[in-house]
Structure 1
């Protein structure tokens, strides 16, 4: 008989008074059949042995007895037994089984239970309308049990995930704290967080508005003092850098030096300092910017040195001054190699020669003085990182 899902449920009190007693009498056989059917059909149910297995079988029998009470005394709802089925879901999660396995068991179990209860009703010569009422009551009741059990499972899952996140946040805080705790404290925090403490790590600093794509699964992430912080285990291992760069593409990120875990605060300090200087997206490595980081400790030194060494260019229009700054930095980096300078600046070699002539006119012998050349490169490299005009 087809059932219209939009139709209101039939009145549960239309069932014969003795039907509940008949269902109760069939419960032991139904519970046994459930256990026999679930095991072969769904692998996880083959392990229903020991205390957990006995609890599952007891829960099945209790649910069936309660349903018998439903059809004799009240509408189909779990009512006061709700907490029992929430607890079943919580325990199912703690047992390590999946939600899919739980729901698959419910779906198969519902079919088995209905087949046996329908057989009981048919043997009692119940009318078709009575069997229909029984079907409505049974499936409404089983749906509610399933929903409440899933609720318990999901709540336990969320609580466990939240606890893991809290423990990982505590671990990250321990790693970047200054002064850092002893190694034993780090090891205990890592064990509690389920994060294997590596022999070496490095820390990435980036903006909190960044949304990295597919970070490696072993990267520990959080926010420290308003800056996003990523702890990367074994950053120098084979194949480790490429996935990190891909995940951070399009974001300005700074990678601190590789250190043992007990010195992670040094990697974090260096990464955070470099991140404050970054003008461009991409993964920037602190070890490639040590001079700029050193000068950033006192930016006024760079400004004073710039006023001293770049004074001859100060009177130029801003655009011309910037062009000559870029040309001078290319000249110092490439030791005056014209073709390399042209490639670096994306201009014609003749343009490079013209600009160099202009620089020699303005700076004179400074281009040939080793000390002046060093100071000029320091100033220009620091300004390039700071994105100053």
Structure 2
């Protein structure tokens, strides 16, 4: 039954008129061979002996019956059965199998089906050109089924990802809520979000406008959400090896504040500390500030008037100086207290000549006198100067 290229007939018109019935008769054998071939070749298909497997085989049989019924009358297409194959893809995703396994099964299954149908066509006396037309029609039909099934899989995957993201955003809000929910509530919310509740966490905050943050190489178990208009990131096991470095690298270019490490049920405390530190830092300067490195500043920030009172008491001799001179002497005094009077370290910290340091220290001793040798006065001076340094951009 040769094709006449000049008349360009529709391909399915060149097929034997009784081929549909012959294909239908071969469908049970084709389904059995699919089960025998797919299982050993692709491990996930070994489950074809169960209920889901029976559904898959039934879908294949339905597809072949539909193909057999239309090849003599119209171009093979899934048509009204599209929703059926979309549902197969959705169910495949929900079963926990991968898209790669689905597509591998289609590729192998197509070869099995073609061998059988080609044999049927050959036994029916179809010529080579007719068999070629049949191959084109069959593979086009199977490709369409595969594409529609993949469409269903991807749609289900996207819906699941959106739902998971929503649940994780809810988990972020639950973890930092005040008052803190009971442990059982946290565990249930974490389980719904597929996020194992860790023993310890630390909370990070940064500008609400953190576009592109998800594209960075953040730790895979990091929760990202938004609370009260601020970005809220929850890091499990923050003190684990390399965790801080990984976070700093991922947040490079962002100003961010990291709260203290706490038990998961006390995440609200870490969040409050991160937000307090955020209010102290200069958001125009990128970098990760850590609350545990600024506990004194955070403590003093609770009542700024204490710092003002302490400053009036201890820094009164400097108030008569010009603002620029006073600022230089305060910076030198803080470096002096931090480095225990070590001249070279003070000069390096201030990036000035050692002779300049010696001049400034002499000036400070003239102004402050015995306070520089009094342990209590030195402590109060350092507290005041640290607080001012933290508040100064």
Distance 2:352 2:10 in 1: 85
Distance 1:317 1:246 in 2: 41
Residue 76 of structure 1, CA deviation: 1.8
- The residue aligned with 1:5 is none
Higher mean C-alpha displacement, 359-368 vs 284-293: 359-368
Residues 57-106 of structure 1 deviation map (CA, whole Å, 9 limit, x = unaligned): 11111111111122133322111111111111111112211100100111
Checking the alignment, whether the CA contact within 8 Å between 1:278 and 1:386 is kept in structure 2 is yes
Checking the alignment, whether the CA contact within 8 Å between 1:205 and 1:272 is kept in structure 2 is yes
Higher mean C-alpha displacement, 29-38 vs 318-327: 318-327
Aligned length: 381
State the SS of the aligned residue for 1:269. helix
Checking the alignment, whether the CA contact within 8 Å between 1:10 and 1:133 is kept in structure 2 is no
Distance 1:258 1:160 in 2: 31
Residues 232-273 of structure 1 deviation map (CA, whole Å, 9 limit, x = unaligned): 223234554343333334433222222222221111100111
Residue 320 of structure 1, CA deviation: 4.8
Residues 112-170 of structure 1 deviation map (CA, whole Å, 9 limit, x = unaligned): 22222222222222233322332222122111100110011111212222222222222
The answer to whether the aligner puts 1:346 opposite 2:354 as a matched pair is: no
- The residue aligned with 1:3 is none
- The residue aligned with 1:139 is 139
Residues 194-236 of structure 1 deviation map (CA, whole Å, 9 limit, x = unaligned): 2222222221222344437422222222121222222222323
Matches within 5 A, 1:1-389: 10-210=10-210, 211=213, 213-279=216-282, 280-299=285-304, 301-302=306-307, 306=311, 310=315, 320-364=325-369, 366-368=371-373, 370=375, 372-388=377-393
Cα distance change of structure 1 residues 320 and 15 upon mapping to structure 2, 3 Å threshold: farther
Distance 2:367 2:54 in 1: 91
Aligned-residue CA RMSD (Å): 2.7
Higher mean C-alpha displacement, 340-349 vs 98-107: 340-349
Higher mean C-alpha displacement, 93-102 vs 345-354: 345-354
State the SS of the aligned residue for 1:216. coil
State the SS of the aligned residue for 1:73. coil
Residue 338 of structure 1, CA deviation: 1.3
Cα distance change of structure 1 residues 127 and 295 upon mapping to structure 2, 3 Å threshold: same
Checking the alignment, whether the CA contact within 8 Å between 2:203 and 2:271 is kept in structure 1 is yes
Using structure 2 for the length normalisation, give the TM-score.
0.87
Question: Unaligned 5+ residue runs, structure 1?
Answer: 1-7
Distance 1:346 1:10 in 2: 86
- The residue aligned with 2:5 is none
Distance 1:312 1:11 in 2: 102
Distance 2:370 2:355 in 1: 22
Higher mean C-alpha displacement, 93-102 vs 329-338: 329-338
Using structure 1 for the length normalisation, give the TM-score.
0.88
Higher mean C-alpha displacement, 48-57 vs 15-24: 15-24
Distance 2:194 2:324 in 1: 55
Cα distance change of structure 1 residues 122 and 334 upon mapping to structure 2, 3 Å threshold: same
Checking the alignment, whether the CA contact within 8 Å between 2:12 and 2:73 is kept in structure 1 is no
Distance 1:300 1:152 in 2: 63
Question: Unaligned 5+ residue runs, structure 2?
Answer: 1-7
State the SS of the aligned residue for 1:125. coil
